[in-house]
Amino acid sequence: MRKGELTRQQVIDHALVMASERGLEAISLRDVAAESKLTKSALYTHFDSKETLQLAVLQEARERYTTAVVRPALAAPRGEPRMRALFANELSWIDGYARQQGCPFMSFAHEFDARPGPVRDEVASAQVDMRRLIERVLQGGIDEGHFRSPTKLDTPQQFSFEYTGLCGAYQQSRHLLESSLSRQHAQVAFEALLARWRVA
């Protein structure tokens, strides 16, 4: 990696940590420049606006999520083992990854749900991709005979809705409420969701 590329990556790394602590909107070019030990003019050679930096932070978060959660899960056997691996990786991601405080996507979703623009679009795209992944893993379990076929109301979309909902509840319980029972509660809820879909 060349010096310019390394500097840009260091800036993004610092900005992602700051965004996970304060929110994506709260990061400023001035603060990121200070944290990265760069002048503001030097920072502008890499990012010409706050929005450009925010989008780069989101892309970095997506790449980290793929590395920490998705790829290891997809290496597990297809079906229920893969779904379990995905969920276990998800909880570990929420616990904290590379100095992040919880899952940045969940925080960013709350922050930008009513703010139209490219950043909101990218946050929404990440959430859609996440749900589609869950649904594909579920379909793999159906194909393997581990899970039953969907019904009119109990669909893969319903499964991903509940899955992401309990991950959000885990983040709140783990980081805001600091409950020692957070993981136990999440696991019990996940087992109930799997049991509802498992072939009798």
Sorted by where each begins, the domain ranges of the chain are 55-197
Contact 198, 145 (CB under 8 A): no
Amino acid 6: pLDDT: 60
Contact 73, 86 (CB under 8 A): yes
Any alpha helices (H) in 26-144, and if so which ranges?
A: 29-35, 40-44, 50-65, 71-74, 80-95, 104-112, 118-143
- pTM of this structure: 0.88
- How far apart are alpha carbons 46 and 41 in whole angstroms? 9
Average pLDDT, the chain: 90
Whether the pLDDT of residue 3 is over 70: the answer is: no
What percent of the chain is predicted at pLDDT more than 70?
Answer: 94
pLDDT in tens, 28-50: 888 877 777 777 777 777 888 88
Contact 25, 111 (CB under 8 A): yes
Whether the pLDDT of residue 1 is over 50: the answer is: no
Amino acid 99: pLDDT: 63
Three-point CA angle 113, 119, 123, nearest 5°: 60
Amino acid 108: pLDDT: 87
Amino acid 154: pLDDT: 95
pLDDT in tens, 86-120: 999 999 999 987 566 678 888 888 888 888 999 99
Upper half-sphere CA count for residue 169 (Cβ side, 13 Å): 16
Amino acid 4: pLDDT: 52
Amino acid 151: pLDDT: 95
Amino acid 98: pLDDT: 57
Give the CATH architecture of domain 55-197. Orthogonal Bundle (1.10)
From 13-17, 98-102, 180-184, the region with the lowest mean pLDDT: 98-102
